[in-house]
Amino acid sequence: MMKTLLPFLVLPFLCGSCFVSRDRVNEPLPAAVVTELEPGVATADDVLDALGAPADVVQLGRRSAWLYLFNQTKSAAFSVLVVTLVNTDTRSDRVWVFFDEAGLLTHVGGSFEGATAAYTMPWDAAE
Protein backbone atom coordinates (compact mmCIF):
# COMPACT_ATOMS: atom_id res chain seq x y z
CA MET A 1 0.00 0.00 0.00
CA MET A 2 2.79 2.45 0.89
CA LYS A 3 4.56 1.77 -2.42
CA THR A 4 1.34 2.67 -4.22
CA LEU A 5 0.95 5.97 -2.36
CA LEU A 6 4.59 7.04 -2.50
CA PRO A 7 4.52 8.42 -6.08
CA PHE A 8 1.42 10.45 -5.28
CA LEU A 9 3.06 11.91 -2.18
CA VAL A 10 6.36 12.76 -3.91
CA LEU A 11 4.98 13.97 -7.27
CA PRO A 12 3.72 17.40 -6.07
CA PHE A 13 7.19 18.24 -4.71
CA LEU A 14 8.90 17.43 -8.01
CA CYS A 15 6.55 19.43 -10.21
CA GLY A 16 7.07 23.10 -10.80
CA SER A 17 4.37 25.71 -10.74
CA CYS A 18 3.84 29.27 -11.91
CA PHE A 19 1.53 32.08 -10.93
CA VAL A 20 0.73 35.63 -11.97
CA SER A 21 -1.12 38.25 -9.96
CA ARG A 22 -2.26 41.82 -10.37
CA ASP A 23 -3.13 44.37 -7.72
CA ARG A 24 -4.71 47.73 -8.53
CA VAL A 25 -5.41 50.65 -6.21
CA ASN A 26 -7.90 53.19 -7.59
CA GLU A 27 -8.60 53.79 -11.26
CA PRO A 28 -6.04 54.93 -13.87
CA LEU A 29 -5.76 58.70 -14.09
CA PRO A 30 -6.82 60.11 -17.48
CA ALA A 31 -3.82 62.09 -18.78
CA ALA A 32 -5.97 63.88 -21.36
CA VAL A 33 -8.30 65.18 -18.65
CA VAL A 34 -5.41 66.31 -16.46
CA THR A 35 -3.81 68.28 -19.31
CA GLU A 36 -7.11 70.13 -19.86
CA LEU A 37 -6.98 71.56 -16.31
CA GLU A 38 -5.72 75.07 -16.93
CA PRO A 39 -3.98 76.89 -14.06
CA GLY A 40 -5.50 80.30 -13.40
CA VAL A 41 -8.83 79.20 -14.93
CA ALA A 42 -9.87 75.88 -13.34
CA THR A 43 -11.27 75.81 -9.81
CA ALA A 44 -11.34 73.16 -7.11
CA ASP A 45 -14.87 72.26 -8.21
CA ASP A 46 -13.63 71.77 -11.80
CA VAL A 47 -10.92 69.39 -10.55
CA LEU A 48 -13.45 67.47 -8.44
CA ASP A 49 -15.73 67.12 -11.46
CA ALA A 50 -12.86 65.94 -13.67
CA LEU A 51 -10.96 63.62 -11.31
CA GLY A 52 -13.24 62.91 -8.35
CA ALA A 53 -12.14 62.86 -4.73
CA PRO A 54 -8.39 63.08 -4.08
CA ALA A 55 -6.46 60.39 -2.23
CA ASP A 56 -4.88 63.02 0.03
CA VAL A 57 -5.30 66.72 0.83
CA VAL A 58 -2.41 68.77 2.21
CA GLN A 59 -2.94 72.20 3.74
CA LEU A 60 -0.16 74.65 2.88
CA GLY A 61 -1.09 77.61 5.05
CA ARG A 62 -4.18 79.05 3.37
CA ARG A 63 -3.39 77.14 0.18
CA SER A 64 -3.88 73.45 -0.48
CA ALA A 65 -2.57 70.58 -2.58
CA TRP A 66 -4.48 67.48 -3.63
CA LEU A 67 -2.92 64.16 -4.53
CA TYR A 68 -4.46 61.69 -6.98
CA LEU A 69 -3.01 58.17 -7.15
CA PHE A 70 -3.33 54.99 -9.17
CA ASN A 71 -1.02 52.06 -8.40
CA GLN A 72 -0.73 48.82 -10.32
CA THR A 73 1.44 45.87 -9.33
CA LYS A 74 2.01 42.82 -11.51
CA SER A 75 3.84 39.76 -10.21
CA ALA A 76 5.02 36.55 -11.82
CA ALA A 77 6.59 33.60 -10.03
CA PHE A 78 7.99 30.16 -10.64
CA SER A 79 8.34 27.44 -8.00
CA VAL A 80 10.15 24.14 -8.07
CA LEU A 81 10.75 21.96 -5.03
CA VAL A 82 11.28 24.42 -2.17
CA VAL A 83 12.59 27.33 -4.25
CA THR A 84 10.29 30.12 -5.40
CA LEU A 85 11.46 32.93 -7.67
CA VAL A 86 9.24 36.04 -7.82
CA ASN A 87 9.39 39.23 -9.87
CA THR A 88 7.15 42.17 -8.94
CA ASP A 89 6.70 45.36 -10.97
CA THR A 90 4.82 48.28 -9.37
CA ARG A 91 4.07 51.43 -11.37
CA SER A 92 1.99 54.49 -10.47
CA ASP A 93 0.05 57.40 -11.87
CA ARG A 94 0.47 60.43 -9.58
CA VAL A 95 -1.05 63.86 -10.03
CA TRP A 96 -0.63 66.82 -7.69
CA VAL A 97 -2.89 69.85 -8.07
CA PHE A 98 -2.26 73.06 -6.14
CA PHE A 99 -4.82 75.71 -5.24
CA ASP A 100 -4.55 79.25 -3.92
CA GLU A 101 -6.58 80.49 -0.95
CA ALA A 102 -9.60 81.21 -3.22
CA GLY A 103 -9.67 77.63 -4.61
CA LEU A 104 -8.19 78.60 -8.00
CA LEU A 105 -5.85 76.06 -9.60
CA THR A 106 -2.25 77.34 -9.63
CA HIS A 107 -0.16 74.30 -10.62
CA VAL A 108 -0.61 70.76 -11.95
CA GLY A 109 2.08 68.10 -12.08
CA GLY A 110 1.91 64.40 -12.72
CA SER A 111 3.37 61.19 -14.02
CA PHE A 112 1.47 58.44 -15.81
CA GLU A 113 3.35 55.14 -15.50
CA GLY A 114 0.65 52.88 -14.00
CA ALA A 115 -0.28 51.24 -17.30
CA THR A 116 3.34 50.20 -17.95
CA ALA A 117 3.55 47.60 -15.15
CA ALA A 118 4.49 44.27 -16.73
CA TYR A 119 4.49 40.57 -15.96
CA THR A 120 8.04 39.25 -16.29
CA MET A 121 9.56 36.06 -14.96
CA PRO A 122 12.33 36.47 -12.39
CA TRP A 123 15.09 35.44 -14.79
CA ASP A 124 14.12 37.98 -17.47
CA ALA A 125 16.42 40.96 -17.81
CA ALA A 126 15.28 44.18 -16.16
CA GLU A 127 14.25 47.01 -18.43
What CATH number is attached to the domain comprising 99?
Answer: 3.30.1450
Terminal-to-terminal C-alpha distance of the chain: 52
The pLDDT confidence band at residue 127, using thresholds 50, 70 and 90, is: low
Lowest mean pLDDT among 67-71, 75-79, 82-86: 82-86
CA atoms of 13 and 81, how far apart (whole Å) = 5
pTM of the model: 0.75
Identify any residues that bridge with 24 across adjacent strands, giving them in sequence order. Answer: 72
Say if 4 falls within a structural domain. no
Say if 87 falls within a structural domain. yes
> 86 lies in which domain range?
35-116
User: Does the structure show a pLDDT above 70 at 113?
Assistant: yes
User: Does the structure show a pLDDT above 80 at 125?
Assistant: no
Say if 40 falls within a structural domain. yes
pLDDT at 96: 97
**pLDDT higher for 4 or 42?**
42
Say if 22 falls within a structural domain. no
Say if 5 falls within a structural domain. no
- pLDDT tens for 17-59 read 788 899 999 999 999 999 999 999 999 999 999 999 999 999 9
Q: What percentage of the chain carries pLDDT values higher than 90?
A: 64
CA atoms of 71 and 73, how far apart (whole Å) = 7
Say if 64 falls within a structural domain. yes
